[in-house]
Structure 1
Amino acid sequence: MDNTALLLFITATFVLAGFVKGVIGLGLPTIAVGILGVVMAPAQAAALLVIPNLVTNGWQIANGPSLKPILRRLWPMLLTICLGTWAGAGLLQQTKGGAATLWLGLALIAYGLVGLKAAKLRVPAGWEAWLGPVVGCSTGVVTAATGVFVLPAVPYLQALGFDKDELVQALGLSFIVSTLALSFGLFGAGALTLTVGWQSALALLPALAGMAAGQFVRNRISPAAFKLCFFAGLLALGGYLCWRGLT
């Protein structure tokens, strides 16, 4: 693939990933790492995603209803996301096969099917104090191994009973913390350099364009339609990851 074709491929990838994120509040790293894995190593793809992840999730947080109560509720999970990611530092660079991607995809498919069947997962209030840190640490390890930070954080956040806009804001908060934690590991491993940082900044423009289009769609659909899009999106992302893991 020549430089022009590679540039167009990367641009289209970030537009698509940004659009999905704009609609359902997640999917930027899942789609981008999976598609970019065709032309580059997972660690390189994850490094290219740092700036788009930080900015799009910052935008997602800023457009939410109220950050303080969500932060007060989620801080134990956010702290252990960092600890889990740093504990698993180096796993992404060591990943050779697609086993981690395959299992991640299967888990997303299972969760998407449960959601589409209208099964209501709920976390009892008394469980949050201990379950939040467990979920955070597990999400951190998965992030360190795959560069994707959807599990088990996304099902956990969805089970906390947030409304549509609160859920999207909580997802953005979780993802920006995961991005920052992963960035330290990539920097220490030499995958995130000044040159890669500049390339990551350039990737921001198509990601923002796609996200703006996705948010336009999300702001015009009902909570029921959003829920359908959310779980169908998880199902599609899971299917895509399984395909990537098997090829």
Structure 2
Amino acid sequence: MSAWLGLGPAEMLGLLLVYFIGGLVKGGSGFGLPLVTISMSPFIVPIDLALAVNAVVLPFANVYQYGRSGLAKATLMRFWPILLGLLLGVPIGALFVNAIEPAALTMALGLFILAFVGLSVVNPRIAVPGDLERPAGAATGFIAGIVGALTTANGPLFVIYLVGRGVERQMMVATLGLCFLVFGVLVSGSFWAIGLLDAQRFLLALLCVAPVLVGVWAGDAWGARLPQATFRRFILVLLFLLGANMLARTAFAM
């Protein structure tokens, strides 16, 4: 066990703790798991192993989040255009993996997120008009699919759209679960096809599912007690931190 994938007991415990923290953030906000874990786990394991584990954990976490919401049918009926855009965007993004510099795209995404947070603070009434919900949703899914294929960091794009529509917490968490479930399945299949994911890494990822689910449960129990206005402020703070993290990572990489 100590030599499995080059990980000793300390590394294993550290990795499980990282995924518990990621689950805690996801449970409270509905998103942020891959961004949290991909920021922390490379201090413990190689980046390619971290990406492989993320790819497997994501679908499991989102099946749980989406299934327990009680809003599976409602979210699918309302937000199917996001999924359509996502299914179109992911393969297109995959075609440009070797043509676009991921660091530049990550920096642009971080700047966009910070700009949105700033505008939301100055003008809290920024909104997506109701008559544009479906076309804006399809565009969001399409862009998120491309960005996700290139960086795996597309969660904030979904959140920005849902905040703009004024979606309340329970519906937002359920919708994010649906979007990430579809995206996670697509990414897992892609990683398996290119050899980044194999049987041993799959088994390691399965071990990380349990702490993630415990974290999601604990975070959701806490988040459900927040008033809608407080939840919105929490989301904006989390978006700010994630956007700043994106900029910091690309700056240090240069």
Q: TM-score, normalised by structure 2?
A: 0.86
Alpha-carbon distance change, 94 to 8 in structure 1, aligned in 2, over 3 angstroms: farther
Alignment check: 8 A CA contact 2:55 2:191 kept: no
Alignment check: 8 A CA contact 2:102 2:150 kept: no
Match of 1:123 among 124, 128, 139: 128
**Structure 2 unpaired stretches of 5+:** 1-5
Alpha-carbon distance change, 226 to 129 in structure 1, aligned in 2, over 3 angstroms: closer
Deviations 1:31-62 (A, max 9, x none): 11222344423x54232113321122122212
The answer to whether the aligner puts 1:40 opposite 2:46 as a matched pair is yes
1:15-164 → structure 2 map (5 Å cutoff): 15-38=20-43, 39-41=45-47, 43-89=48-94, 98-117=103-122, 119-164=124-169
Q: What residue is the counterpart of 1:224 in the other structure?
A: 229
**Structure 1 unpaired stretches of 5+:** none
SS of the equivalent of 1:152 reads helix
Q: What residue is the counterpart of 1:210 in the other structure?
A: 215
Q: What residue is the counterpart of 2:3 in the other structure?
A: none
Tell me the matched-pair count: 246
Deviations 1:189-247 (A, max 9, x none): 11122222111111112212222221121122221221111111111112222222222
Alignment check: 8 A CA contact 1:111 1:234 kept: no
Give, in whole Å, the separation in 1 of the partners of 2:162 and 2:109.
17
SS of the equivalent of 1:88 reads helix
Q: What residue is the counterpart of 1:237 in the other structure?
A: 242
Give, in whole Å, the separation in 1 of the partners of 2:220 and 2:175.
16
Give, in whole Å, the separation in 1 of the partners of 2:131 and 2:123.
24
Give me the CA root mean square deviation: 2.4
Query: More deviation in 172-181 or 157-166?
Result: 157-166
Deviations 1:1-27 (A, max 9, x none): 963332233222111111111111110
One-letter code aligned to 2:182:
V
